Structure formats: structure tokens, C-alpha cells
């Protein structure tokens, strides 16, 4: 029987996180160049890690959905889900919809909000 020690699991998780960071950094540079220039890669890696944790707290774990969650953080602020000025965000995240559905609704609602609607 194969036994995986907790230290091996942690190493795998760390490797997966670094891989995800390496995918997200060019994405953030392309779509949020002002944020990328202002913060730089070390701060953005912190943002990515924070986003992964926040998304997971809402059972959002698929790479595509987590990536979209981080896009929302880049657009609305790192703690948009708890921002009193954006009560709709937390409400949407608390619904019983699937993770994909909640992210789609969040993106659509955020786009309206950012356009002033």
C-alpha cells in the first residue's frame, strides 16, 4: 500500500500553487497592466495566494473559476467579497448555486457595477 505523508502532500500543494502563480502572473500583466506595474510580481503572488484561499472558502476550486475570482479581486479589490460597498458580492457567493454559476453571476454583476449600472 502506498502511503503519502503530510509533508509530501504539502510539497505537492506548494508545487501546484507555484504553477498556478506562473499561469496567473502573465494573465494579470496582460489584463491588469496598471495593477501589475504598481504592485509587481511578489505582491501579485500574494494576491493570487489570497485569492485561492478566499475562493476555496466558497468551495470555488476549479482553476478557471479561481482565475475568474482573482480577476474580480483585481477589478474590485482583494476583499471584495466582504466590502460593505459591494453587498451583492457576498450575497451571490453565499447562494447554493454551483461554483461556476456563482462566478458567472459575479462577473456579470461586477461588469454592470463597474459600468455604473
For residue 8, is it within any domain? no
What DSSP line would sit under 82-112, residue for residue? G-TT-HHHHHHHTSSS-HHHHHHHHHHHHHH
Cβ proximity of 44 and 25 under 8 Å? yes
Helices vs. strands in the chain: H and E counts, helices first = 5, 0
- pLDDT average, residue stretch 73-80: 96
Structural domain including 38 reads: 14-114
For residue 45, is it within any domain? yes
The total number of structural domains that make up the chain: 1
Cβ proximity of 100 and 65 under 8 Å? yes
Check whether 93 has a pLDDT greater than 70.
yes
Which range among 3-7, 11-15, 43-47, 82-86 shows the weakest confidence by mean pLDDT? 3-7
Cα distance from N-terminal residue to C-terminal residue, the chain: 58
- Model pLDDT, residue 13: 85
Residues 6+ apart with CB under 8 A from 107: 68, 71, 72
Check whether 1 has a pLDDT greater than 80.
no
User: For a pLDDT cut of 70, what percent of the chain falls above it?
Assistant: 89
For residue 1, is it within any domain? no
- pLDDT average, residue stretch 9-25: 83
Amino acid at each position: 500500500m502506498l502511503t503519502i505523508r503530510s509533508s509530501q502532500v504539502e510539497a505537492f500543494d506548494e508545487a501546484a500553487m507555484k504553477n498556478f502563480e506562473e499561469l496567473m502572473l502573465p494573465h494579470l500583466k496582460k489584463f491588469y497592466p496598471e495593477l501589475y506595474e504598481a504592485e509587481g510580481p511578489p505582491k501579485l503572488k500574494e494576491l493570487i495566494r489570497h485569492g485561492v484561499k478566499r475562493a476555496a472558502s466558497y468551495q470555488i476550486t476549479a482553476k478557471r473559476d479561481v482565475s475568474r475570482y482573482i480577476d474580480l479581486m483585481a477589478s474590485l479589490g482583494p476583499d471584495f467579497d466582504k466590502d460593505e460597498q459591494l453587498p451583492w458580492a457576498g450575497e451571490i457567493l453565499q447562494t447554493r448555486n454551483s461554483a461556476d454559476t456563482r462566478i458567472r453571476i459575479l462577473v456579470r454583476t461586477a461588469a454592470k457595477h463597474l459600468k455604473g449600472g
